[in-house]
Structure 1
Amino acid sequence: MKNPTAEVDLVWKALADSTRRSILDLLAERPLATGEVVARFEKALCRTAVMKHLEILVQAKLVIVRREGKMRWNYLNPVPIQQVCDRWVSQHVRQVASAVSRLKELTEDRVSQSTTERPSSASKSRRTKAISSDRLNTPGEKR
C-alpha cells in the first residue's frame, strides 16, 4: 500500500531545489531528451548531477520517462503538483481570501460610519470661521 504522506514529501523535496524547478520549467514547454536537459545545464552542472536531479523528479512522479530506442524522453507530469496545490495551497488561499474579505467588510463599515458621523461641509466651514474669528479677537494678543 502506498504511503500518501511519503509521496507528498517526495514532491515537496523535488520542488525545494531551484535546479529541479528549472528542469520542470523546461519540460513544461515540451518533452526533452535527457541529453537536451543535460545540455541546458552543461555550464553549471555535470551530466551526473543533472541525472540525479532527474531521478529525484522521477521518484516524485513529476517526470515521466519514455524510452524510444537509445533515446530517453522526459515528460512533465503536472498531476502531483496539482495534488499538492489542492491539498495544501488552496486550503491556505481560501483562508487568506476569507480574511481579506472580512477585512474589506470591516473597512467598508468603518468608512460608511465615519462619513455618516461627519458634519456637512457647510457647518464645518461655519465652525472653522467662528474659531478663526475667536482667535482674532482674543484680548491681550499681539498682532
Structure 2
Amino acid sequence: MAGLRKDQPAPRSITLHGQSRVLEIAFDDGASFRIPFELMRVYSPSAEVQGHGPGQEVLQTGKREVDIVDLESVGNYAVKPTFSDGHDTGIFSWDYLHFLGSQQGELWAEYEKRLAAAGADRDAPMAGKAAAGACGH
C-alpha cells in the first residue's frame, strides 16, 4: 500500500471535476488540493506503474486526456479510481493523495525529467505490455 499512516490527515470532501479533469480533495488539517487526473494516473501506486521494486517503474505516456470514470471507496483509508484507459489497480490512500497534492510541482518536474531522459513525449501512446495493462510479473 502506498504509505498508509495513522497520523496523516483524513479527507473532509472529495469531488471529481470531469470537465477540468481534477480530483479536488480537502483534508481535516486545512489542506486542500486539486490533483489532475493525469498526475494521478502517471503516479498510480499500482505495481503496473511502480513495478515491484526500485528501478522497475514504467514510464506512463499518453495520459493527458485520461478521465476517472469511477471512484470506489476502499475501507476508511483510500479510494480506487477507474481511469478511462482501463487502469483500475491503484489504491490511493489518504496520505498518498495528500502527498500527490502537496508535491505536485516536484512530481511534474520529475515526470518531465523522466520523459526527457527516455526521449519520450507526454502525449506519445504507450507501447508494449504497459499499453495492454499487463503487469508483466
Judge same fold: TM > 0.5, yes or no.
no
TM-score bin, normalised by smaller chain: under 0.3
Q: TM-score, normalising length from structure 1?
A: 0.22
Give 1 or 2: higher strand fraction: 2
Give 1 or 2: higher helix fraction: 1
Q: Which has the higher contact order (CA 8 A, sep 6+)?
A: 2
Which has more radius of gyration? 1
